[in-house]
Structure 1
């Protein structure tokens, strides 16, 4: 039976959606703790070790793009079940992978099926809620799933204390079992048959083309892609820059990264508490503006302070940028899903998959342009986040979906 709005309030199905959508960060970041140990094993040289991570990220983006449109035609639960069962099996296969190339191939497919839950989970929320109610739920998803990148490396470290890197994938298999149970017990079908759309490549292509030529929807996607790219520059470059420029230890960097992530979680909670009053459009605009301003201040600091200057202002400004993502990410997700509600799965696929691909592509930029100075990373962050703000302010399509989301 399809879920009703009253039933959605009566059962803890949103918690089950959180379990399914949180697999992406867990599948990536739990594994980070195991990467140095892998290098010591024959057949897992450094290049292939890095490829296993890249393969998962690329697979996750492609999985989002593919799974969303399929769920518009087949329903949400079948896609979620296939994704969670496949993730469990592939985690076990990863644990027993005999060589590096085999593990790279498995991780690519594992990332692909992990993307199913991320895209379809957002679509499930859009099926049941709209406007500020949906934005509030997206804030809940974001606040909980943002905790995963903070906890996952520590969890991986605990597992490694009792076994090898293969045991980490055994732990991910257990997470997969939990996801299967969450789908079977906690997530009813949210898309009834009468609301489903035609399947097949041609129909999927038409839905994607419809949204890709919808200016209000694409405005949200472009803003999200630019902001995500700026944020991923920080994710990919900060460890090298901060350790090279300021000489901080790996332990100190872990503290910095974790504290910034906590700031983002707290701001996301603030988003959830205030979105009914202010609306997702206003909160998203505030988040993008604050992030762009802080990134600009970071660039000015980098250019004017010899050798990067004091570490304290850099830490504070990076924390402000990260915290501001707690407003812009859930706000943009809610607004994009509202604009593309006619094909919620396809909308989720495009906004999440494209942003993830752009973010993955921007991750190594700091290393390419230079990580021995704060200036390159700050300039990249500033340029991307300012461009995101300009697009938000200047690109004003005639139809404004944000209006329906305002209180």
Structure 2
């Protein structure tokens, strides 16, 4: 373990609170100022496209940051990169707060996203380094849920900030959060990857690790499956505001309530995952979560069909419940997939976290605008996209993983993990 910095003292073991801060602040920064996008456009005298590009730049940066810095941490160690990423995030947030032009704000948001992505990937790797598989799975559940809940809850938090300030105030608050990240990484997270377990620190070595692990099917099948489910989930995130407000005529405040209740459903099932993981294998929890979300998506598609037949949409309450169930299923699917993927790629945990998280975010960013492009004057486009992605994911699970992981007998490895904490989390 490297000598502690003269400024910040290293903790003996990773702090869960510190891991939550390091991995959670970035996702909160994703869209916390989304309600103020028109104000961003006006105050910077720029176009709506540039204002929206500030969101896209951050999401792309967060995906790229995971892919770039996760493999580097397998060669250079975790702690220095975590502290460095927190410092860069803080400086980029401060630059966002004072940015005089739209172009500079977009650039600062890209850098901010890169730094946030590094914390997400390396934080997951720290968990795999420090804890045995069963306990690591619980902590993956917490971190993965925070990463994907952050963009869901951030608009509500940003809305509260906007009641006392403008969009620049949001970035001032994120700057303070960045300072918390620095303290969390410096005081709460030790170096968990000793020099003898590192794989070479150069960029070329990092690329080779990515190519090597990316060609390993036992790992990449988990990544591909997660990407499909994330596509279905982000279709909801990107399209539900347009669809529900257009089809049902609800207000922004009512939609915020719908979004918040659905986020609570995901938070509840994420807690359920933590309690269940010692008794039920991650593979089975993933099947349950995917089946729940797929059934709900198909239910929304049935509502869309009824809308076309009847000429009017079904009651909002029915669609709301189905969307809440869909989001709730992701509270089981995302942490299960994270645990299974990290264990499958355990020989290079930083690289595994990079590929799993980075590719999922890239896929999410790609599908987010689809509903707006195809149309949102009825339920059908969003419902068809969600159902298509989730059904394809469930079919993929059946084909690639076999009957043991799709509801039949539990795999022997999964059962061993439940009782003994065996490192074999996947079949």
**Same fold by TM-score greater than 0.5:** yes
1:63-122 CA distances to partner (integer Å, 9 max, x unpaired)?
A: 000010010001010110111000101111111111111111111111111111011011
Structure 1 pair 151–375 and aligned structure 2 pair: CA distance change class (3 A):
closer
Contact 2:153 2:263 in 1 (8 A): no
Contact 1:291 1:324 in 2 (8 A): yes
Would you identify which runs of 4 or more consecutive aligned residues in structure 1 move more than 3 Å? 8-12, 142-151, 400-407
> Helix, strand or coil for the counterpart of 1:125?
helix
Counterpart Cα distance in 2 of 1:168 and 1:313: 35
1:395 aligns with 2:400: yes
> Helix, strand or coil for the counterpart of 1:293?
helix
Residue correspondence of structure 1 range 43-54 to structure 2 within 5 A: 43-54=45-56
1:374 aligns with 2:376: no
Structure 1 pair 115–143 and aligned structure 2 pair: CA distance change class (3 A):
closer
1:270 aligns with 2:269: no
Structure 1 pair 405–32 and aligned structure 2 pair: CA distance change class (3 A):
farther
Greater displacement, 336-345 / 386-395: 386-395
Structure 1 pair 193–61 and aligned structure 2 pair: CA distance change class (3 A):
same
Match of 1:239 among 238, 241, 253: 241
Counterpart Cα distance in 2 of 1:170 and 1:291: 37
Contact 2:11 2:190 in 1 (8 A): no
Counterpart Cα distance in 1 of 2:158 and 2:316: 29
Q: Which residue of 2 aligns with 1:351?
A: 356
TM-score, normalised on structure 2?
0.89
> Helix, strand or coil for the counterpart of 1:197?
coil
Residue correspondence of structure 1 range 227-376 to structure 2 within 5 A: 227-305=229-307, 306=310, 307-376=312-381
Counterpart Cα distance in 2 of 1:269 and 1:9: 26
Counterpart Cα distance in 2 of 1:100 and 1:366: 26
> Helix, strand or coil for the counterpart of 1:247?
coil
Match of 1:190 among 189, 192, 216: 192
> Helix, strand or coil for the counterpart of 2:30?
helix
Counterpart Cα distance in 1 of 2:40 and 2:158: 13
> Helix, strand or coil for the counterpart of 1:308?
coil
1:90 aligns with 2:95: no
Contact 1:65 1:346 in 2 (8 A): yes
**C-alpha deviation, 1:151, in angstroms:** 4.4
Structure 1 pair 391–151 and aligned structure 2 pair: CA distance change class (3 A):
closer
Structure 1 pair 304–164 and aligned structure 2 pair: CA distance change class (3 A):
closer
Counterpart Cα distance in 2 of 1:257 and 1:177: 29
1:208-230 CA distances to partner (integer Å, 9 max, x unpaired)?
A: 12211211211110110000000
RMSD: 2.2
Gaps in structure 1 of 5+ consecutive residues? none
Counterpart Cα distance in 2 of 1:294 and 1:149: 21
Q: Which residue of 1 aligns with 2:25?
A: 23
Match of 2:156 among 148, 154, 157: 154
Counterpart Cα distance in 2 of 1:60 and 1:386: 27
Contact 2:15 2:189 in 1 (8 A): yes
**C-alpha deviation, 1:156, in angstroms:** 2.0
Match of 2:57 among 55, 58, 63: 55
Counterpart Cα distance in 2 of 1:260 and 1:351: 24
Counterpart Cα distance in 1 of 2:37 and 2:305: 35
1:123 aligns with 2:125: yes
Gaps in structure 2 of 5+ consecutive residues? 4-9, 405-410, 420-427
1:169-207 CA distances to partner (integer Å, 9 max, x unpaired)?
A: 111110000000001111111111111111223322221
**C-alpha deviation, 1:279, in angstroms:** 1.3
1:238-277 CA distances to partner (integer Å, 9 max, x unpaired)?
A: 0010111111111111110100000000000000001110
Structure 1 pair 35–328 and aligned structure 2 pair: CA distance change class (3 A):
same
Counterpart Cα distance in 2 of 1:382 and 1:123: 32
**C-alpha deviation, 1:152, in angstroms:** 2.6
> Helix, strand or coil for the counterpart of 2:16?
helix
> Helix, strand or coil for the counterpart of 2:277?
helix
Counterpart Cα distance in 2 of 1:284 and 1:142: 13
